[in-house]
Structure 1
Amino acid sequence: MNHENQTPYTQLDPNAILDAVESTGLLCTGSLIALNSYENRVYQIGIENDEPLIAKFYRPNRWSSEAILEEHQFSLELVQHEIPIISPLIINDQTLHQYHDFRFALFPRRGGHALELDNSEQLEWMGRFIGRIHGISACKSFEHRMQLNPQTYGHDPYKLLLEQNFIPDYLIPNFCKTAETALQKIEQIFKSIDHVDQIRLHGDCHAGNVLWNESGPHIVDLDDCLMGPAIQDIWMLLSGEQEQMDLQLEKILRGYCEFHDFNPRERHLIEALRTLRMLHFSGWLAKRWTDPAFPLSFPWFNTPVYWQNQIVNLNEQIELLDQIEC
């Protein structure tokens, strides 16, 4: 079993967390609140004579230090252009710190409420916000981050699920046939859309990763930033029936195009990207299944009902993929 699948946070107890933060020269009050995060470990830490900070401990063996620093540099680059990203604090001339086996970063605490996906004004504002980000992110490429494509988000997790025997034997033929059909159609769609720019993306731009306050949206987490098509940072903001999603996309693109050009052919990638996300999500859960936090948080995963539903959902996606005319 890959070490990445073991229990990497067993040594990260409250004393270790506070000692790590104090190793940067800060003095903690002893207050520590665990925040919701599955991939990493995130805590609100009380600081003497100052506002609390957010400490993010990166999952060991997930990213190289170069990849994490590239994420940090991206967020600092956006801040330099006055784009409201919650970027890591620079302490002792660095953003990434090491304490024993753990790498971590410290962030300012920011408040806000959820993005309202049924609010046309907020959707258009989000479009302007994402357009501003992409106007900067398109200027250069990542060197150490993943690229989103049918291989990395489709074939790789599909292969993992089969190799690690997560799917019940009696469902394997049906699952394989359905997944392989979907992947074949996705590859055809990607190949049929010429000249799609690969740019630096947030990568996981859904409402849960956006904080909204009186000054507008703030992006919370760049942990999944990668190279890919611009529409990846847009489609997860769409919800409801197709007619509703079309109207929402129109609102977002109205704001987006004020700051960055949008290739309309990328619309045809939405259902392909949705299908890839389904496979990627299953692969992510499988990869993390030996971390005790995951069976507790996702008890419905790795059950026959889950895989039966995945087959049904993938077949529904195949029908949608068949309707795409590139």
Structure 2
Amino acid sequence: METSLTEDARNGTAAQEFTLEGFPAVQHLGKVLFLVHLVMYLASITGNTLIITVTWADHRLQKPMYFFLSSFSFFECYFITTVIPKLLAIFLLGRQKISFAACITQTFVFFFLGATIFFLMAVLSLDRYMAICKPLYYPTIMNPGMCSLLVTACLVLGFSLIVVLVTKLSQLSFCGSHVIPHFFCDLGPLINLSCSDIRSIKMLAFGLALFILSTSFTVTIIAYSNIVITILRLPSAKERQKAFSTCSSHLIVLSLMYGSCLFIYVKPKGTNQLDSNKEAALVNTVVTPLLNPVIYTLRNKQVHQALRDALTRVRLQR
């Protein structure tokens, strides 16, 4: 009898659908929210695509930092596209159903790209460390081959870690409620719906999250600690300001990313964890990717100038 129940649960898992709860409290504002999030999504895609185009087209931006920046923008475009189109369908059409295969795929791509982006942030920190603290060795070490290798390493490491976790997730049985209290197939709410023993996968998820965040954060802290020490030793205030300006955009983006993650995982007692998780995830997948291109273009003089030159060429061609 127990074997039959297990088999039924497994068979049910293969064919079932999940229901994404979304934001039921504001679902009556669906069309308004659809327009707001559509505008933000399109603006984010446009901004990141513009950064990719300019950094590859302008010879002045053919430098390691801008190669990593364009890679970051590329991953961000796919990262938000994993989640936002489904959220728009929920707001506009009320389509909350998602198949098991689509849900698992969404979970994998979201966390794979998320992990890759965090590792890439650590690489950007190392790049700034080399440029400011080891300027004589910087052109030799951070050559095009090394830059490509570092981005590839971020992808491979992110894929290797997340594929293990999601493979284990796909083997769980879901024989109870199929309503996910989120607007996408987030790992935590999905695991909690399973009727299998989830202790091992929860430990694995916690361990991987701790490794990804702590590794990226530790590299960043060490790199920027050395950067600050080096900048403070520069003889003139103008040199110090110039050196810090090359890092300021990266620091702001890092603050937004780590801040949203801390908001998700570190909460005061008495808060509604699921609701605050959804709100923080919405910031991480909609607001932050929209702000990142603005931060990089407005605070980086070289990118700003390249954009102005590109717009001038477009006007002259007309």
The structure whose residues are more often helix, as a share, is 2
Larger RCO (alpha carbons 8 Å, 6+ apart):
2
The answer to whether the superposition gives a TM-score over 0.5 is: no
TM-score, normalised to structure 2, is 0.24
Query: Which is higher, the Rg of structure 1 or of structure 2?
Result: 2
The structure whose residues are more often strand, as a share, is 1
